[in-house]
Amino acid sequence: MLFEAFVLRLAKEMPISQIADLTDETDTRIWRIIHRHVDAAYVNKMFETVTKIGVDETSSSKGHNYITVFADMDSNEVLW
């Protein structure tokens, strides 16, 4: 549990590849930890009160890989 909490804290601040190098784990394991916790958090997410949505799309790397972010404009919280 402490290792997973450590990984989640680092994931907010640095790339997954650097976390994998730092912890001597594979990036696949790091991604599994992150996805498991994010999926668990979204199960309890309530969207009924959202009235304004902001959408932003950006390139995640050179080429055609894009990330789309949906945010609640009232609470400034990322929805997806």
Tokens 């309890």 correspond to 44
Q: What is the pLDDT along the chain (80 residues), one digit of tens a residue?
A: 899 999 999 998 999 999 999 999 999 999 999 999 988 988 888 888 888 999 988 877 677 778 888 998 988 888 87
- The CA distance from 45 to 42, in Å, is 5
Residue 30: the pLDDT is 94
Decide: 57 and 68 in contact? Cβ < 8 Å.
Answer: yes
Nearest residue to 68 (alpha-carbon basis) of 54, 49, 52: 54
What is the rounded CA–CA span in Å between residue 27 and residue 31?
Answer: 6
Answer for the pair 25, 40: CB distance below 8 angstroms, yes or no.
no
Confidence (pTM) = 0.64
